[in-house]
Structure 1
Amino acid sequence: MQAEPKKSQAESRAAAPPVSQPVSLVGEEYEVEVGPVAHGGHCIARTSEGQVLFVRHTLPGERVVARVTEGEEGARFLRADAVEILDPSKDRIEAPCPFSGPGRCGGCDWQHAKPGAQRRLKGEVVAEQLQRLAGLTPEEAGWDGTVMPAEGDKVPAGQVPSWRTRVQYAVDSEGRAGLRKHRSHEVEPVDHCMIAAEGVSELGIEARDWPGMASVEAIAATGSQDRQVILTPRPGARLPIVELDRPVSVMRVGEKDGGVHRVHGRPFVRERADGRTYRVGSGGFWQVHPKAADTLVTAVMQGLLPRKGDMALDLYCGVGLFAGALADRVGDQGAVLGIESGKRAVEDARHNLAGFDRVRIEQGKVESVLPRTGIDEVDLIVLDP
């Protein structure tokens, strides 16, 4: 019997049945009963077929029309926006920000909820994450399950506390400053961000155009009058002349190396926490809420209860916030070792803690540096990756 000639790979591919593409459900609408809150500003609902929906702009217990924004047939879950509220929660209010809502700015998750309800929802999210990720109840984690407003943040329904000391504005193709839509690169131009701290708003970033820029980050330090703007140009663009409503240092993000470089002014801002001033280099990390650093130091020190003479590790120490707090409390007979991988953060930490003879800051990855130290026993560890 004569063998049939082998088919070429091209012929085999042509003969293969076409692979069906998943059917997109974007734009489909479902009337759903909304269940519990989930991480990221979503609540959980299910379609009549049982498919999970993560729905934004809604609250637990509501009945809404949810329009799919991401997902396809057969997917484990869909993402959606509540575009019509059929049965509102008693905790619902009209969002005070004119840029909030489905398809608009993605910066705030819960502007449509009363302030007390927002805190309750945040507490439920933290409790769920503790249980799911760490296997701990709030009680086992040493937390009573409540979320309290920071000093100055308790405001009546319909008002918004202005707390964000660092805001990164995206810039659209027309040079207008704004904020990105949820899970999108698309920019929602804004003329005022309600949660921006006064020191950010008074710079007037939103009031001027930023031709050729991809983003403009505004920083208003809490421990000083330092103000800084970090510009990220689009490829090949020239920097604009920066004329703002307040004196400001200007930095730029390098197109080739991605580093932050000085244009004029100080290449850092001065922040304050736990009675100490910290230098934070341009592009460096500091908590965006003006009360966050102090609140975190207080909580960590209450948990550790450092004593004079203790040996402490601050892993992923950043600019030295916790290392400084520990050094103050363990005294001259104690010692603190901080480890941080970021070169600029290490320089800042060494500057910030130069007055402590018993504090050492090492640069590198924790898993690489720590074994080299020879330390096999310490009294206290702060782990903040």
Structure 2
Amino acid sequence: FFCPIVKQMSEQVLTITYHQMVENEHLVPDTYLSDDKTMETHLDCQQLLSQLRGTVNQKRESIDKLKDIVVSFNRNFKPQNTFRFNTMPVTDNDYLQIAVDLQEFMDNNKIDEFRRRTSEHYKDILGRISTEIGSLMKRRSDVDGVILDINRDFVEKNFAGVIKSIELRANESSDKLMQLLISIHDYTVENALSIGELNLFSSNNRDEVNLKVVDYLKSLSHQLQNEPNRSSVSLSDAFRLQFRVKENDNDTNWVERINNVGSDGTDILVKAMVNIMLINVFKKKAARKSGDFIVHCMMDEIGRLHPNNIKGILQFANSRNIYLINSSPTSYNPYDYRYTYLLSKYGVKTRVEKLLKRIK
């Protein structure tokens, strides 16, 4: 009598346990439930359910371990990485697919393919940087030549007045991006045959050279991120122009701005002299082809100069065949100028009258 009851109760318990595991706990994947394959076994239902629960739990532990490994692995990559690894998996299948893709990556030795591809890409980037910066540095040498000519020009025809000496020089650039680009250019030129893939001319330290190249490119990337609004570099970024002015007993030493040389008028005087010498340097180069000629220049704020300095700057310019035009509404020592004109406005027309002409 009791055996059928016990059997019936046992079957009910097994049924409840089965449905609890499948429907409530969701431990068994659908693929297990829909599998049509059969297998003979001597285990009873209770043992089979216990085995299935253990298998499913073991799979879950393996999946969790895989997730931890994938998460740790993905910390080495950004979402937009070169290898196109999925760094943001969501489902279990995503994690499994990452493992499959990585296994394929290793089996097919794709790392060498990427190494060759990126090596050529890096080499191309370095080559372009080296070419552009090399061209810029050649123009920098032209600047050095102009500065030398300006310094020589003052010595040959100096200023008879308070300004005893004016010197210019071009120091190394303090621009961080330009400094880095110059370093990349120099390193590329020195190691041109060792950068990239192995070739007949590669040196023994090729790997070391290429690692240094990667470091340079990383530094360049970080520097560009620090200056997101910067789109280019120019010749003026390649050097720091410095001035040294001696005014009577006052020596400015080397400074980057012509300020506080003396009075405000003296600052204007020095800036005017530098511009006159710069014009004269280029005028001389042009004169080699077509002969010497006269240049007329408008000088603003000339009225702020001391009368003696006005006469001195006029002689300084005239000795170089550069004639200054003072457009001040107020007359300052008109006899210092070769011509004096009066300009009158009549509607849209301007009337020009010659008032004075200096004979000597």
Structure possessing the higher relative contact order (Cα contacts under 8 Å, 6 or more residues apart):
2
TM range (shorter): under 0.3
Please state which structure has a larger fraction of its residues in strand.
1
The structure with the largest alpha-carbon Rg is 2
Q: TM-score, length-normalised on structure 1? A: 0.21
